[in-house]
Structure 1
Amino acid sequence: MGTAFKRNFLWGSSTNAQQFEGGWDKGGKGLSIADVRKISGISDFPGFKKASDHYTHYQEDIALYGKIGFQIYRFSMAWTRIFPNGDDPEASKEGLTFYDRILSELEKYKIKPVVTLYAYDLPLALLEKYNGWMNRECIKAYTRFVETVVHYFKGRVKYWIPFNEQNFLSLDSEYMTGYRAKSREEVFRLEHHFNLAYAAATKIVHQVDPEAKVGGNIGNICVYPKTCNPKDVEACDEFMKRIGYAPGDVYFRGKYPAYLLKQYEGINFDQIIHDGDLEQIKSGEPDFMSLTYYMSSAVGAEDLIENDSQQMNGIKITNPFVKQTEWGWNIDPYGFKHYLEDFHHRYQLPILILENGLGHRDKIEDDAVHDDYRIQYLAAHIERMKEAEADGVDLIGYLTWSATDLYSTREGFEKRYGFVYVDKATLKRTKKDSFYWYKKVIETNGADLSN
């Protein structure tokens, strides 16, 4: 066996309500933008309304998490379960009771909860009423939602994440907010409102529950220059500034860096940034960083082309030196180490890995799923994470994506990530080979990564 992680290292996995919970018409839940989202290219797409139906199967699911040995588990609380229309006069007792039950089940198995407060599931009523995050009224409604759940579950949740991968807003505003930004100015307005809401959430957590921790979340890739041509190196640096460092400077340093404002040069900041806004952003002091990682990518000067709204196009450049998944995602464990050390050196905060995993078309045969490919992917990434810790990176814990098969953002059940297989028709749960492997990894604190 190899070396283990530090004694207090935490092991677990993640899900999100919009992709996992289902129960869209149960418990008084209101419609969210996820419930009405349309995804092209899937002939039998049933939407996120049903997903994996964790709403009905939560006891079974969490019992499996207890058997595998999770010490920590990340999920999101759906805003529309607590306030069906986003800004209702009173919080839903049914919604609060549901998450009370979730926490009680986790407590039964001594699993620490990590709660994300917004994961692309804005109440539809707020989109229709205000254009959602384009309007400051949405910030008020979100803040009230945060205050409600943090007060209600005080002392039971140690780690809070205000937003899931909010730095990707400039890549896909419509998926994340329900509103498609039409200009650079609208992109910045959405980002600014997210940033104000994030800062408000961090303050609420610290004021209401001083024992709890709160951290911003960055989803990113490790970006390499396509060649050693200085123009490609500069493009790589520019990409990291826009998608990684600029949001990191906001979440973890509390300020807009000059290079971010330069990107939006020419827009009327006075109409967007109000008196006191910059002070509010500065007041949002996080306790840790939460990072997600799936792949690396290569960027060249020609790749930084912007579309009509000046939102950067997604970059998935095939790297001939590494293997790719069916969906063209580069499999690069070293990129994980590089990414962790890069952000550690820049921000000097403890890091919680919020997501890391491999999507694949898993097949069930004789009531089993032999997913050696997932085991190989995770083992290689954990080994590199171990090297990063040895180099001085302060790691809180490691959460894979995902605990159980859930509805992938654009591929539905075709693209699976979990340790537990979910039959699309019957919703039957089946433990995969990776379930038993990860159980051993947790038992040995990462010392035994063998298959």
Structure 2
Amino acid sequence: MGAKGFPEGFLWGSSTNAQQFEGGWNEGGKGLSIADVRKIPNMPKESNFEDFKIASDHYHHLKEDIGYLGEMGFKIYRFTMSWSRIFPNGDDLEPNEDGLAFYDTMLKELEKYNIQPVVTLYAYDLPYNLLKKYNGWMSRECVKDYLHYVETVVTRFKGRVKYWVPFNEQNCVIFDDEYITGYKTKNKKELFQLQHNMNLAYAQATQLVHKIDPEAKTGGNICNTCVYPFSCNPKDVEAADHFAYIFGYGYADILARKKYSKYYLKYFSEYDLSDIIFDGDLDIIGAAEPDFLSITYYMSSVIKSNNDEQIISMSNIKGTNPYCEQTEWGWNIDPYGFKHFLIDFYHRYQMPILILENGLGHRDKLEDDGTITDDYRIKYLKEHIERMKEAVEEGVEIIGYLTWSAIDLYSTREGFEKRYGFVYVDKNDNLKRYPKKSFYWYKKVIATNGEDLSND
């Protein structure tokens, strides 16, 4: 009989991203990133910001914020480094020492609370200079500059970071290229060129990590949903399969199996890719050295055949499932989908899984007494953890579970109105922090290694 519950040493924690959380956009020698100049269409006016320059101002609240994580008993915490904080122009010969010092302070604070760091090296914040100079990831020069940045930070923080993730949700570039890279591709061939350069960078980054720090671990990151066909009509099933392969498996094949599948390349078959895939490129990708596969999961998707190639789109990802509740923003709440997703990817790739993001976006209310009662978030996380526990007991090897997010941050398209954290950030009062009810609940979950999920 298999062991019950989560294994000893299971890592509980949470995640943030620099572009949504850090702020301090023009301090400490930081250069402009695409996040600093990004404009989001239809951003709600009540979000109170037009960009990510302030975000949650973690830059000035670092010790306070990590203190909250320590109080909760975090075992692990994922943050992203801002490339332009370390290399303001992206291609500088020498790093900005003030930027490195900021992350050194962050690691020291995490070490004080015995929190294991996970560092994602790129999360939608390309140095703006590189977009202007050579269209960013459309150029192989970007691969070279990125690897210089990777080599710099892994060398500087050798022995202090066990887990490195080269890119955040790398597969999402297939439908969100402009947001992720700053460049809007004109056709599918340009899209492949963008992806291919990032894949070359990913593969070489994994090798650099191991060369510099043989004790460190590294792996790719897949954002995905549990994909259901709209009906048992074979056309809907085929459409759902196509979505799953192009958005999920096709990319995981690159990150975990280290190769382009024939199915994935068929998606771009109308184009001659010989001027993109150079001699030796497939060997570079094949030489990647991943140790784990990291995933993010929020919802399941319902895919319906529409007889065209618009299947891979955000609108289809948010297809309504009549058997699930939806969030205000149309995301299906599906705990079983989480379990299905974990089992599917583990048995397909046979690699340990590190869950980097899972959480519920919701409007939270700060009461006059400073409390925030977010039972809906507790319910969501409880039900997903229960399903994750089943997956573990059925043989899925999971390194740890990190929620999104540790502390409220600036949601990608909804500003602060869509909140995810255990700590409330009051945008109307100097970004003051308030622990939510879920803060104390998750603290208990961590203390009991996932055994006590009661909400009392």
TM-score for both structures, normalised by structure 2 = 0.97
Once the two structures are TM-superposed, the CA of residue 305 in structure 1 deviates from its matched residue by 3.5
CA distance in 1, matches of 2:212, 2:19: 27
Q: Write the deviation string for residues 138-191 of structure 1: whole angstroms up to 9, x where unpaired.
A: 110000000000000000000000000010101110000000000110000001
* Structure 2 letter corresponding to 1:347: Y
Q: Of 391, 402, 406, which residue of structure 1 is paired with 2:405?
A: 402
Q: Are 2:53 and 1:49 equivalent residues in the alignment?
A: yes
Aligned equivalents of 1:431, 1:304: Cα separation in 2? 47
1:45: how far off?
A: 2.8
Partner of 2:285: 281
Q: Which amino acid aligns with 1:27?
A: G
Equivalent in the alignment of 2:87: 83
Q: In structure 2, give the amino acid aligned to 1:4.
A: G
CA separation of 1:416 and 1:311: change in aligned 2, threshold 3 A:
closer
**Range with greater deviation from structure 2 (266-275 or 78-87):** 266-275
* Contact kept? 1:305, 1:312, Cα under 8 Å: no
Distance (Å, rounded) in 2 between the aligned partners of 1:441 and 1:45: 34
User: Is 2:386 the counterpart of 1:383?
Assistant: yes
Task: Supply the AA of the counterpart residue of 2:33.
Answer: S
Unaligned 5+ segments in structure 2 are none
Distance 1:162 1:450 in 2: 36
Matched, 1:209 2:210: no
Q: Partners in 1 of 2:157 and 2:168 — Cα distance?
A: 20
CA distance in 2, matches of 1:46, 1:181: 24
Tell me the C-alpha RMSD between the 2 structures: 1.3
C-alpha distance in 1 between matches for 2:358 and 2:352? 17
Q: List aligned pairs for 1:424-443, cutoff 5 A.
A: 424-425=427-428, 426-443=430-447
- Cα displacement string for residues 353-409 of structure 1 (whole angstroms, at most 9, x for unaligned residues): 000000001110020100000000000000000000011000000000000000000
**What displacement does 1:40 show?**
2.2
Q: How many angstroms apart in 2 are the aligned matches of 1:252 and 1:321?
A: 33
Q: Does residue 284 of structure 2 align to residue 291 of structure 1?
A: no
Measure how far apart 1:303 and its partner are: 7.4
- Tell me which residue corresponds to 1:103: 107
| Amino acid corresponding to residue 136 of structure 2 in structure 1 | G
Contact 2:303 2:316 survives alignment (8 Å): no
CA apart distance, 1:312: 7.7
User: 1:232 Cα deviation (Å)?
Assistant: 0.7
- Residue 10 of structure 1 corresponds to 11
Q: Secondary structure at the match of 1:74?
A: strand
Please state whether the residue corresponding to 2:164 is helix, strand or coil. Answer: strand
Shift of 1:3: 5.5
Contact 2:5 2:392 (8 Å CA) reproduced = no
SS in 1 for 2:36: coil
Partner of 2:450: 446
SS at match of 2:274: helix
Residue equivalent to 1:247: 251
Q: What SS does the corresponding residue of 1:440 show, helix, strand or coil?
A: helix
**Stretch of structure 1 that moved more, 253-262 or 297-306:** 297-306
Give the aligned partner of residue 167 of structure 1: 171
- State the TM-score, normalized to the length of structure 1: 0.98
Is it true that 1:62 corresponds to 2:66 in the alignment? yes
Q: Residue 412 of structure 1 corresponds to which residue in structure 2?
A: 415
- Give the whole-Å Cα distance in 2 for the aligned partners of 1:313 and 1:371: 28
> Aligned ranges for residues 21-420 of structure 1 at < 5 Å?
21-41=22-42, 42-43=44-45, 44-302=48-306, 305-306=309-310, 314-365=316-367, 366-420=369-423
**Taking structure 1 as reference, are residues 312 and 101 closer, same or farther at Cα in structure 2, changes over 3 Å only?**
closer
C-alpha contact 1:16 1:75 (8 A) present in aligned 2: yes
For 2:372, the aligned partner's letter is V
CA spacing shift, 1:374–1:130, aligned 2, 3 Å: same
Report how many aligned residue pairs link the two structures. Answer: 448
1:393-440 alpha-carbon deviations (Å, 9 max, x no partner): 000000000000000000010100000000013100000000000000
2:21 maps to amino acid: F
Which runs of no fewer than 5 residues in structure 1 stay unpaired? none
- Output the CA distance in 2 between the equivalents of 1:275 and 1:174: 28
The Cα offsets for residues 87-113 of structure 1, whole Å up to 9 and x where unpaired, read as 012101001100000000000000000
Partner Cα distance (2:207, 2:315) in 1: 33
| Residues 100-146 of structure 1, C-alpha deviations (whole Å, 9 max, x = no match) | 00000000000000000000000000000000000100110000000
Following TM superposition, by how much is the alpha carbon of 1:311 offset from its aligned partner in structure 2, in angstroms?
Answer: 7.0
Give the drift of 1:292: 0.3
**Residue 275 of structure 1, CA deviation:** 1.1
Q: What do residues 317-344 of structure 1 show as CA deviations (whole Å, max 9, x unaligned)?
A: 1111010000000000000000000000
Task: Tell me the SS of whatever aligns to 1:269.
Answer: coil
Please, which moves more after superposition, 7-16 or 37-46?
37-46
| Residue equivalent to 2:20 | 19
Contact 2:301–2:316 (8 Å) recurs in 1: no
Give the drift of 1:268.
1.7
Tell me the CA shift for residue 315 of structure 1. Answer: 2.5
C-alpha contact (below 8 Å) 1:22/1:55 kept by paired residues: yes
Q: Is the 8 A contact 1:202 1:286 kept in 2?
A: yes
User: 2:287 and 2:307 mapped to 1: Cα distance?
Assistant: 36
1:193 is displaced (CA, Å) by 0.5
The whole-number CA distance in structure 2 between the counterparts of 1:305 and 1:267 is 15
Identity of aligned residues (%): 66
Q: Deviations over 1:258-313 (max 9, x none)?
A: 01111101212111001110000001120001000000011011175339xx9786
Using the alignment, how far apart are the partners of 1:419 and 1:265 within structure 2? 46
Q: Tell me if structure 1 keeps the 8 A contact 2:86–2:99.
A: yes
The alpha carbon displacement at 1:30 in A equals 0.2
Helix, strand or coil for the counterpart of 2:123? coil
